[in-house]
A = this chain, B = another copy of it.
């Protein structure tokens, strides 16, 4: 897993075939500045969008119209994908499949089942009043039936809808995962992506901290599989119950809590004085604000105990979580940090956030407990906890650490090459037989030279080249060249698939 193909990564940077791979997944501007990191930190669960170079997204709003000119020839189409979106060429797709494959494997190892929901949802699913960025940046519009709809900015509301729809018939606990594409629309920013894919894992029906521990286990298991260590990445952990206990003790009403958390989250990117007015509008006095800010600065559980007292439920849960992390073997990944509250209104308990220890990247993943979300949709509350893990920052981190495999080549087992059009039908038949043994076979569809066929086989990373000419057909054989060993042997047509299957099995 940790095998690094550093040489090939360096080559990839200059190879034209790899241009799109670099631009769509990896060529985000590196930003070490705290200011930038803060900009999008709070919204990882909702949208951990990466900066992308302008090379892929459209830089200009002008859309070339394909109107016929007076010459009768069409104007050339704008060849870029829509602003802020990506094409996935095969080399990009190999990277995506590799990443998604790890996510899916880890989720399944933890006993989670995959689900999906429409990328387009009713807008009402996302309308919340707490002033979150996620609701301000909806990619929403009115459809032709005058319904307000939106491309989903996050998966949790769809999941909540699905869980609620099943109601009592759902066997608890629910452990589900998905890798949805999520969207947002920002008017002003340049070159920022408007879509990303986001690994989601959620547990419904478990009130205890065991659910949080299990989700953190999945996240750490993923990091370890791809070669990332606890020296590279940490996970900040907190509980909104900490703030809730402090605010409740100072008489702040419960219905101000979500909006307070959304404001507190903004302290990552703005100064306290910039939002003091908004805090006062929520009814927070200067005394409360001072206490709040003091609480946020706490970085260890002993200090937290001094603030909350040893009867605090929030403290007990966090201590228990750390004990479980020790048992699972990932205690070294966790850091208590009372300033982490996350930017989504619906979190109620433990929240967490993966970050790179060098401090160069935005949040890698984030999540938390949201026991009251169904209630806000008019249902009975049901304990729930989940996380979102975007595809952009992790790609950047993996590239930084040289942990990406080589995605340059398609992997095909065999190239089948007819020496002339007269034997094409026989070559097709051989390809069919080879494929019936689950051996992938690229059949050369045109009349090509031998030299081309060898180069082609090399480009596809094929292990064998099957050469078919008129002489061979007359004798009922084909030539099979083992490209790694350089050996070429004659094999009876009826035995070619078994022959190659054996060679592949033994290599």
Residues of A within 8 A of B (CB): 16-17, 19-20, 61, 63-66, 73-83, 85-90, 92-94, 96-97, 105, 108-111, 113-122, 124-125, 127, 139, 141-149, 151, 158, 161-162, 164-166, 169, 171, 173, 175-176, 181, 183, 185, 187, 195, 203, 206, 208, 210-211, 213-214, 217, 221, 323-324, 326-329, 375-379, 410, 412, 415, 424-426, 428-429, 431-432, 435, 438-443, 445-446, 459-460
Chain B residue nearest in CB terms to A104:
B97
Q: Could you list some 25 contacts between A and B, CB below 8 A?
A: A16-B169, A17-B169, A61-B145, A63-B122, A63-B124, A63-B147, A74-B376, A75-B378, A77-B125, A78-B122, A81-B161, A82-B118, A85-B120, A87-B115, A87-B117, A90-B113, A94-B113, A97-B114, A108-B440, A110-B435, A110-B440, A111-B440, A111-B443, A208-B446, A329-B429
Q: How many copies does the complex hold?
A: 2
CB–CB B164/A124 < 8 A:
no
Chain B residue nearest in CB terms to A429:
B327
CB–CB A324/B428 < 8 A:
yes
Give the complex CA separation of A139 and B64 in angstroms: 20
CB–CB B440/A206 < 8 A:
no
CB–CB B428/A162 < 8 A:
no
Chain B residue nearest in CB terms to A113:
B90
A116-B88, A118-B85, A378-B74 known; A185 vs B111 contact (CB < 8 Å):
no
**Would you give the shortest CB distance from A177 to chain B, in whole angstroms?**
10
Beyond the given pairs A82-B122, A213-B428, 7 more chain A to chain B contacts, judged by CB atoms under 8 angstroms and listed by A's residue number, are A66-B127, A77-B378, A79-B165, A89-B162, A97-B114, A145-B187, A211-B445
CB–CB A432/B329 < 8 A:
yes
